[in-house]
Structure 1
């Protein structure tokens, strides 16, 4: 191993927890679909439940792709795109929760900028070492 490789964190260390996050989030779409139905933007065609299940399948597939070294780069890049794509749902949730008690509003608004570190994390997990 070269000194440069030794000083860089392993993509596996970034990828394993990202894969776990995606797999847990994907499973949650099937375990508690009503929670996710509520944040599907109304402008999307079809039913919220169809989007909930589709995004759950996407997260499960992304988690599996990030977990496997052979597909990690592509899976991580796709995960970064996915995190950008779900931003409208997080904005909708924050707007919908504006009349809830303060802790709920804070959680909802915190999800919006959280997408940026998630994109960064995915890009880091997919880079070559």
Structure 2
């Protein structure tokens, strides 16, 4: 027979669709950071040291945030951590756009221009992801 839950305990809630999407993105991206760190090293802002170590650390952080968003007991903390992580990696995404923009301007190849446009479109997409993470941080 199942034990009754104490009245003061918060209800266990399922992850929202947005939280599942964000968690999935973190889990995939974090795994890629660990398996292929060389792909991400060029987008670490030049002013920061230890590019490989930062890529690996961010991969571990993404996996932890992704897993945490899926577990009701850790969702609030994972939401706060996810928010911080998304804000922290925004400069790397901006650096990626700058690098691709320079390459597109230099080569004028359609593929390079398309990649640059894609990186530009990605930057504002972080805003709804941050909103999802903030929502998870505020949820009981």
**TM-score band (shorter)?**
0.7 to 0.9
Equivalent residues in 2 for 1:64-83 (5 A)?
Answer: 64-83=67-86
In the alignment, which of 44, 48, 54 is matched to residue 48 of structure 2?
Answer: 44
- 2: CA distance, partners of 1:127 / 1:16: 16
Q: Secondary structure at the match of 1:43?
A: coil
Q: CA deviation at 1:11?
A: 5.9
Equivalent residues in 2 for 1:1-129 (5 A)?
Answer: 12-13=15-16, 14-45=18-49, 47-98=50-101, 99-100=103-104, 101-128=112-139
Higher Rg: 2
TM-score (norm 1): 0.84
Higher relative CO (Cα under 8 Å, sequence separation at least 6) belongs to: 1
- 2: CA distance, partners of 1:29 / 1:75: 19
TM-score (norm 2): 0.78
- Which structure 1 segments of 5+ residues have no match? 1-9
Q: How many residues align?
A: 119
Give the root-mean-square deviation of aligned CA atoms. 1.6
Divergent runs of 4+, >4 A: none
Q: CA deviation at 1:27?
A: 0.2
